[in-house]
Amino acid sequence: MGKFDGKQIIGLVGNLVLKKGPKGSTIIQTRPHPGKQTAASKTTANIFAKASTLSKVIRLDLSVLINGFYDGAMVNRLTRQNREILEQCYNKDTKQYTFNEDSFSRLAGFEFNLKSPLAKSLWAVPQLNLIGNQLTLSLPAMEINEHLKFPARSNVCEITVALAFYNLEAGVHKNSVFQKLEINTEQCLVPAHDFTFEVPAGCLCVMGIRLKYAMLTDNVKVIRNTKDFNPAGLCGAVMTPGEFVLTPGEIVPNGRLASVWKNVDKLKLYKDLPAAEGDTSPPGVPQIF
């Protein structure tokens, strides 16, 4: 329904849409008619929605690395990368996703801030290894300013490695974990170091790394990272083998039993089917939707 704002009518009038134009003019357009989505377009939209949700939750879970210091196109770049991965893993004939350990490996090397690429500050190449339920990021021995660059007016670098966990079938995630290593310019040679985390079965584990620089003088530390300088990115993503098991809840401060896993409904790739009459098997049979 059109409305009069005191000067002109704006809004929907019959099959016409009236809008404000430049210099007090009115723009009249034909009312758009929603097109009917095909099955293919619905699938494309669904995959994009999943990719957008996954990208958002990764950004939130790894916010300790990003800290708001990312380039303007980062959100779209990460969504595009995840969309391409999900499209690759989706079978249009069976309408099912199939993942293996390396399905999300293309996330390795993703930069959160193209204004200050991690690759330009960290020349040593970290290696990601999964052995059993242990995921390890190994940093080789490094020479200061050869393998680890220090910007001007900084003498301390805090390396933070963070790990986020997702089960895509159930659409759940849990709080990320992180470890830190502090290095200073007086070390000259930094020994090799491993960051090791325990990981659950049947999960997507996304690992990122950030270099946080500072100038330390008389026990006063001045942070050098800014919106334009924050070397941080993803160093790997692994789908762990095995069957995912939702772990029992934990007692939270208010005394309530709560699961460490939290729902991300729009991420869920499967939905639970109601049990057939007389079926005593547990619910949760997966089906693509």
Q: Which H, E and C letters describe 18-41, residue by residue?
A: EEECHHHCEEEEECCCCCCCCHHH
SS3 263: strand
- Residue 266 sits at φ, ψ, to 5 deg, of -75, -10
Q: How far are the Cα atoms of 165, 215, 243, 263 from residue 246, in angstroms, in the given order?
A: 12, 44, 10, 12
C-alpha–C-alpha distance, residues 202 and 225, integer Å: 36
Please give the pLDDT value at position 4: 62
Tell which residue, 178, 71, 181, 154, has the closest CA to residue 116. Answer: 71
C-alpha–C-alpha distance, residues 199 and 101, integer Å: 13
Structure letter (DSSP) for residue 79: H
Structure tokens at 161: 């490695």
DSSP E strands in 116-273: the ranges are 127-131, 134-139, 142-143, 156-167, 172-184, 189-190, 193-198, 204-217, 220-223, 232-239, 250-251, 257-258, 261-263, 270-272
| Contact by Cβ (8 Å): 243, 131 | no
| Contact by Cβ (8 Å): 212, 232 | no
Tell which residue, 201, 275, 269, 208, has the closest CA to residue 239. Answer: 201
Please give the pLDDT value at position 271: 47
Query: Residue 138: beta bridge partners?
Result: 127, 194
How do 16-20 and 250-251 pair as beta strands?
unpaired
Please give the pLDDT value at position 94: 87
Q: How far are the Cα atoms of 8, 110, 168, 266, 284 from residue 207, in angstroms, in the given order?
A: 55, 11, 16, 22, 29
Tell which residue, 284, 289, 282, 154, has the closest CA to residue 217. Answer: 154
How do 270-272 and 90-91 pair as beta strands?
unpaired
Q: How far are the Cα atoms of 105, 261, 266, 275, 277 from residue 56, in angstroms, in the given order?
A: 18, 17, 11, 33, 39
Going from the first residue of the chain to its last (289 residues), give the mean pLDDT of each consecutive group of 10, the final group possibly shorter: 66 70 69 68 89 96 96 96 96 89 96 97 96 96 96 96 94 94 94 97 97 95 95 97 81 67 83 35 32
